[in-house]
Chains A and B, each alone.
Chain A
Amino acid sequence: MAGRPRLAVLKFTSCDGCQLSLLDCEDELLAIAGALEIANFAEASREVAPGPYDLALVEGSITTAHDAERIRQVRRESSVLVTIGACATAGGIQALRNWADVEEFTRYVYATPEHISTLDRSTPVHDHVTVDFELRGCPISKRQLLEVVNAFLNRRRPVIPTFAVCVECKRAGVPCVMVAEGTPCLGPVTQAGCGALCPSYRRGCFGCFGPMESSNAASLSNRWQELGAGSRELVDAFRSYNAYAEPFREAADAH
């Protein structure tokens, strides 16, 4: 089957959930394996072929000096590098360390902290190398993952909108939880992609797809305060899975 594009799925600091999304494409998995040569996907195959790769899907943030080097190698070996998930695109939940004393964190978790070596920041892949496309979400949506793979195979621009979760919320016909129930929601400043999951389960969005294209976090923060949120709640809200993404970082730092 020569000539099929070669796929690598690679992991850095993360929970595995985003690459698992590929294995969760139960209906499409065998078709994907037919359309692409799965050259390096440790989660699925013990056969690991060396680069170069035509498409690399990279999960996870950079938290060690070794990984900072490894991602450069990956970039050199990959024609198209797509980062998948909040860890890879924004540093992930583990970027909460970026506001803390990592040594103290280490002492808290590990009995012998001297055995642990880690960078004091968790950073997104685009801080280290050029990224061709970023797929957001904690975790990514498998529908969007399929769209990216599909667009790659059909050589078109992936239809991955950068507008707000509210757009999907309204398309889905979900009554706004903020307006109808007074529940604080990050939907207006968060990028679509999940299909407005949380509001459809009557929960405010907590921003797991990161900032949308033109986030007005200041205005939304004011609204949250009118709904009863304090600064502490605002900081908690913006400092989660995409804490280190700029508009959210600034919004939290403002409170």
Chain B
Amino acid sequence: MALATDTAPANPLLPSVTTIVDRWDETDDTFTLSLAPPPGYRFEPGQFNMLYVFGTGEVAISVSGDPGRSGRLIHTVRGVGSVTKRLRELVVGDAIGVRGPFGRPWPVDAAVGGDLVVVAGGIGLAPLRPAILHALANRDRYERLVLLYGTRMPRDLLYRDLVSEWRGRFDMDVLVTVDNADRSWRGSVGVVTRLIPRAPFDPKRSTVLVCGPEIMMRFTGRELVRRGVDPASIWVSMERNMQCALAVCGHCQFGPSFVCRDGPVLRYDDVDELFEIREV
């Protein structure tokens, strides 16, 4: 979609207009959009875009695609509120506004030479997917590659095919758990933190990337430290109300950080104390 460009230069609030090339459902409430990337678009794992639905509003959504493939811009979204539910109704060919990428990425390079451990809760796997794909594409640069993934129910598991493909790989350890199992579930049951003590990684040489609900990240951080991981090697991705992604609307503050600018990926030892305080 052509955008009228006879306007003031580079208004950072101005989205590029692009179209939906493909879409599919992941779970009951979660779906993936595949967009034509705006010209020259590049991102790093962990960064996010602001997606705009005409007349409804804008939301922060992580990029979930493969950073090594630039042909498509992939977002996995859970329909929870007004904008995300409208996103779910969009069909192939519809226009959508994109601004980004924003934010600090996962420190995938810092992990080089050691173990890379990924801990995901629920939709938290979406922002971690690019990091995993990056690591797999550069597999020889890491020692062990581990994914610990938990959801509430078996039906909430994202990227089923991909996750089972990963499970089948010899160069990656994948442990999956659900909070509440049903009859069909034959895997482990319990919160994701319970996987940490038995997961195959060397705490002293690991970089851990964590994304999920705040409470899950808090307990995961504690558990990792208990297992001996250096707090400075643990990274979490925060969610806050976000309306501009430019650190000027003020909503995404988390202590001294703007999640959009200083995050969303933050180092655990910068936030562990804040995690212990209510309503920060």
Contact = CB atoms under 8 A, between A and B. Distances in A.
Nearest to A155: B86
A46 interface: no
Interface of chain B, helix or strand or loop or mixed?
A: mixed
Interface of chain A, helix or strand or loop or mixed?
A: loop
Interface of A: 154-157
Interface in B69-100: 81-83, 86
Contacts of B81: 157
- Interface centre among B55, B57, B83, by most chain A C-beta atoms within 10 angstroms, is B55
A157 B81 CA distance: 9
A105 to B, nearest CB: 44
A156 B89 CA distance: 13
Nearest to B57: A156
A36 B68 CA distance: 49
Contacts of A155: 56, 82, 86
13 contacts: A154-B55, A154-B56, A155-B56, A155-B82, A155-B86, A156-B55, A156-B56, A156-B57, A156-B82, A156-B83, A156-B86, A157-B81, A157-B82
Contacts of B83: 156
A171 to B, nearest CB: 16
A154 B54 CA distance: 10
Contacts of B57: 156
A157 B83 CA distance: 9
A131 to B, nearest CB: 18
Given A156-B57, A156-B83, 11 more contacts: A154-B55, A154-B56, A155-B56, A155-B82, A155-B86, A156-B55, A156-B56, A156-B82, A156-B86, A157-B81, A157-B82
Nearest to A159: B57
A43 B180 CA distance: 54
A133 to B, nearest CB: 13
A154 to B, nearest CB: 5
A25 to B, nearest CB: 20
Contacts of B56: 154-156
B270 to A, nearest CB: 30
Contacts of A156: 55-57, 82-83, 86
A213 to B, nearest CB: 15
A93 to B, nearest CB: 34
Smallest CB-CB A-B distances: 9 pairs: A157-B82, A156-B56, A154-B55, A156-B82, A156-B57, A155-B86, A156-B55, A154-B56, A156-B86
